[in-house]
Amino acid sequence: MTDTFPILDQYSNYMLAILGRSELTVTEYLYDLVTFFRFWKKDRGMVSKDTPLENIMIDDITVKDINRITTDDLLVYLIWLNRTKNLSAGSRARKIASLRSFFKYCHSKKHIIDTNPAYDLEIPKQPKRQPKYLTLDQSTDLLKAAYESPTESNERDYCMLTLFLNCGMRLAELRGIDIDDIHDTTLTVIGKGNKERTVYLNKACLDAIADWLPKRAEINIKPDHKKALFVSKRGTRISDDMIQIVIKRLMLQAGIDTKVYSVHKLRHTAATLMYKYGHVDIRALQMILGHQSVSTTQIYTHVDDESLQSAVEKNPLSSFDPDQK
**Of 90, 109, 128, which closes a domain?**
109
Kindly state whether residues 199 and 75 are assigned to the same domain. no
The pLDDT of residue 126: 64
Q: Is residue 159 part of a domain?
A: yes
Q: What is the CATH number of the domain that holds 53?
A: 1.10.150
Concerning whether 94 is annotated as a catalytic residue, the answer is no
Which residue out of 92, 197, 264, 302 is catalytically annotated? 264
Concerning whether 170 is annotated as a catalytic residue, the answer is yes
Helix/strand/coil (H/E/C) assignment for every residue in the chain: CCCCCHHHHHHHHHHHHCCCCCHHHHHHHHHHHHHHHHHHHHHCCCCCCCCCHHHCCCCCCCHHHHHHCCHHHHHHHHHHHHHHCCCCHHHHHHHHHHHHHHHHHHHHHCCCCCCCCCCCCCCCCCCCCCCCCCCHHHHHHHHHHHHHCCCCCHHHHHHHHHHHHHHCCCHHHHHCCEHHHEECCEEEEECHHHCEEEEECCHHHHHHHHHHHHHHHCCCCCHHHCCECCECCCCCECCHHHHHHHHHHHHHHCCCCCCCCCHHHHHHHHHHHHHHHCCCCHHHHHHHHCCCCHHHHHHHHCCCHHHHHHHHHCCCCCCCCCCCC
Concerning whether 267 is annotated as a catalytic residue, the answer is yes
pTM: 0.62
The pLDDT of residue 90: 83
Which residue out of 192, 197, 225, 248 is catalytically annotated? 192
Kindly state whether residues 141 and 289 are assigned to the same domain. yes
Residue percentage of the chain with pLDDT more than 70: 90
Kindly state whether residues 69 and 153 are assigned to the same domain. no
Q: Is residue 268 part of a domain?
A: yes
Compute the distance between CA of residue 159 and CA of residue 204 in angstroms, rounded to an integer.
9
Q: Is residue 262 part of a domain?
A: yes
Q: What domain range is 140 assigned to?
A: 136-304
The pLDDT of residue 30: 95
Concerning whether 264 is annotated as a catalytic residue, the answer is yes
Q: Is residue 156 part of a domain?
A: yes
**Of 109, 124, 150, which closes a domain?**
109
Concerning whether 119 is annotated as a catalytic residue, the answer is no
Kindly state whether residues 39 and 154 are assigned to the same domain. no
Domain count, the chain: 2
Concerning whether 279 is annotated as a catalytic residue, the answer is no
Kindly state whether residues 48 and 154 are assigned to the same domain. no
Which regions of the chain are under pLDDT 70? Answer: 1-2, 126-130, 301-322, 325
Kindly state whether residues 182 and 241 are assigned to the same domain. yes
Q: What is the CATH number of the domain that holds 246?
A: 1.10.443.10
pLDDT digits (tens, 9 = 90+) for 286-303: 888 888 777 777 777 654
Kindly state whether residues 205 and 86 are assigned to the same domain. no
Kindly state whether residues 88 and 164 are assigned to the same domain. no
**Of 109, 125, 156, which closes a domain?**
109
pLDDT digits (tens, 9 = 90+) for 128-170: 666 788 999 999 999 999 999 989 999 999 999 999 999 989 9
